[in-house]
């Protein structure tokens, strides 16, 4: 039987998704925080129009609707007392299971109503991220990225960024190869070699994959003019709907994997989590690599935030495609196959 719609969890004035597409996306795992962010304060988050609170309970990280069952206050305005979440309005106390364990305004001998419960969602920590599924059971697992656990690798967390763009637009951009020579000329893009050679997309049940050879301009630091051209192999593995691993393989054996996971706060705003893993410069500080990647992202962001229509057109007739767009075409088709209508905004 189909799980119930999550439309009832959204405040009517905060609806940005069409209910059907929201329900499809709610059946997948999405990250809502870095595990390291969940410390001594409850976090306020939004996923698929739903306001969430993320906190550390007695048995681990808890993701719940950001709504106190008493008088509708936002629990993320409250605080943690050890592993107990305290509502800021009347001090009701909630455990990590979602049960209300204390009502300060009434005598402790009076039983607490069973209706005073948080609406909780499954939460798992994988790859240093907290993932949740608003409409379980999830249709696909959290992406398996075993390379992140390899010895001889350094994992780097890039600061989370907020994009004023639809998640599928951000994801398609990350997997788009014809823009590299145009948008990324401040970093690795090669304006002298814009042609993209034919590639095939391998379609598996949970991923879309392709590889490409690209004459990457190897600038030591960003904005340094010129630079050595190195033919890199880029290996893209997209786990629909919104998670991609890009392996950048140098001929000398250096590997830089970049993970881009787009978490749709609303139909028009996306929180992008990014991890990097490298097998070189292991003892070096991560800051230069982070600054470089942030600069790459900054090159993309204004273009993506300004695309029209804001929603990724899933009907292939709505935009014009070239052979370099094979991955984009496969991605759009896969989103349709998942059941998305592409009419994201109600």
Residues that bind ligand FES (CB under 6 A): 68, 70-71, 73, 87, 89-90, 92
Rank residues 30 and 65 by Cβ distance to ligand FES and give the closer one: 65
DSSP state of 8: G
* Six token digits for residue 173: 């951009």
Residue 35 interacting partner from Fe ion, ligand FES, none (CB closer than 5 to 8 Å by kind): none
Residue 224 interacting partner from Fe ion, ligand FES, none (CB closer than 5 to 8 Å by kind): none
Sheet-wide strand order for 93-94: 79-81, 84-86, 93-94, 100-102
CA distance 308 to 196: 24
* Six token digits for residue 177: 């190869």
Q: Give the number of other CB atoms < 10 A from CB of residue 125.
A: 16
**Nearest distance from C-beta of residue 72 to ligand FES, angstroms:** 6
Residue 207 interacting partner from ligand FES, Fe ion, none (CB closer than 5 to 8 Å by kind): none
Rank residues 66 and 300 by Cβ distance to Fe ion and give the closer one: 300
Q: Give the number of other CB atoms < 10 A from CB of residue 59.
A: 10
Q: Decide: 153 and 277 in contact? Cβ < 8 Å.
A: yes
**Nearest distance from C-beta of residue 110 to ligand FES, angstroms:** 15
Q: Decide: 94 and 75 in contact? Cβ < 8 Å.
A: yes
CA 7-165-326 angle, 5° bins: 105
152: nearest Cα among 292, 279, 312: 279
Q: Decide: 21 and 130 in contact? Cβ < 8 Å.
A: no
Rank residues 92 and 210 by Cβ distance to ligand FES and give the closer one: 92
Residue 289 interacting partner from ligand FES, Fe ion, none (CB closer than 5 to 8 Å by kind): none
167: nearest Cα among 82, 269, 287, 85: 269
**Nearest distance from C-beta of residue 86 to ligand FES, angstroms:** 9
Tell whether the torsion through CA atoms of 333, 339, 345 and 346 is positive or negative.
positive
**Nearest distance from C-beta of residue 92 to ligand FES, angstroms:** 4
300 binds Fe ion (CB under 5 A): yes
Rank residues 100 and 272 by Cβ distance to Fe ion and give the closer one: 272
**Coil, strand, or helix at residue 295?**
helix
**Nearest distance from C-beta of residue 248 to ligand FES, angstroms:** 48
172 binds Fe ion (CB under 5 A): no
Rank residues 87 and 296 by Cβ distance to ligand FES and give the closer one: 87
Q: Cis peptide before 241, with omega less than 30 degrees from 0? A: yes
**Nearest distance from C-beta of residue 10 to ligand FES, angstroms:** 19
**Nearest distance from C-beta of residue 181 to ligand FES, angstroms:** 54
Residue 133 interacting partner from Fe ion, ligand FES, none (CB closer than 5 to 8 Å by kind): none
Residue 300 interacting partner from ligand FES, Fe ion, none (CB closer than 5 to 8 Å by kind): Fe ion
Residue 68 interacting partner from Fe ion, ligand FES, none (CB closer than 5 to 8 Å by kind): ligand FES
Rank residues 81 and 306 by Cβ distance to ligand FES and give the closer one: 81
Size of the site for Fe ion (CB under 5 A): 1
CA distance 85 to 101: 10
Rank residues 60 and 91 by Cβ distance to ligand FES and give the closer one: 91
Rank residues 53 and 166 by Cβ distance to ligand FES and give the closer one: 53
CA distance 293 to 275: 10
Q: Which residues bind Fe ion (CB under 5 A)?
A: 300
């Amino acid at each position: 039987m189909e799980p119930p719609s999550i439309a009832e969890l959204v405040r009517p004035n905060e609806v940005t998704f069409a209910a059907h597409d929201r329900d499809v996306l709610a059946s997948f795992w999405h990250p809502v925080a870095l595990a390291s962010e969940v410390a001594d304060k409850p976090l306020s988050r939004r996923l698929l129009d739903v306001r969430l609170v993320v906190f550390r309970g007695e048995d681990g990280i808890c993701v719940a609707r950001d709504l106190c069952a008493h008088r509708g206050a936002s629990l993320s305005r409250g605080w943690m007392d050890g592993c107990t979440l305290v509502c800021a309005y009347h001090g009701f106390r909630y455990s990590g299971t979602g049960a209300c364990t204390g009502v300060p305004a009434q005598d402790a001998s009076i039983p607490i109503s069973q209706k005073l419960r948080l609406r909780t969602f499954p939460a798992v920590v994988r790859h240093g991220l907290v993932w949740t599924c608003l409409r379980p059971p999830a249709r696909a697992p959290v992406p398996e990225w075993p390379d992140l656990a390899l010895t001889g690798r350094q994992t780097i967390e890039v600061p989370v960024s907020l994009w004023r763009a639809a998640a599928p637009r951000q994801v398609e951009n990350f997997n788009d190869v014809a823009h590299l020579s145009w948008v990324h000329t401040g970093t690795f893009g090669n304006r002298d070699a814009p042609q993209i050679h034919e590639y095939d997309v391998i379609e598996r049940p949970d991923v879309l994959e392709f590889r490409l050879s690209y004459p990457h301009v190897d600038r030591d630091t960003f904005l340094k003019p010129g630079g050595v051209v190195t033919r890199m192999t880029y290996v893209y593995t997209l786990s629909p709907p919104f998670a991609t691993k890009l392996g950048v393989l140098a001929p000398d054996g250096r590997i830089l994997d970049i993970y881009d996971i787009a978490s749709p706060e609303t139909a028009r705003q996306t929180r992008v989590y990014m991890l990097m893993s490298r097998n070189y410069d292991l003892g070096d500080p991560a800051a230069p690599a982070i600054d470089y990647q942030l600069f790459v992202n900054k090159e993309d962001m204004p273009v993506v935030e300004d695309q029209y229509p804001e929603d990724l057109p899933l009907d292939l007739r709505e935009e014009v495609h070239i052979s370099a767009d094979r991955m984009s075409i496969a991605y759009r088709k896969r989103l349709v196959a998942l059941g998305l209508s592409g009419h994201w905004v109600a």
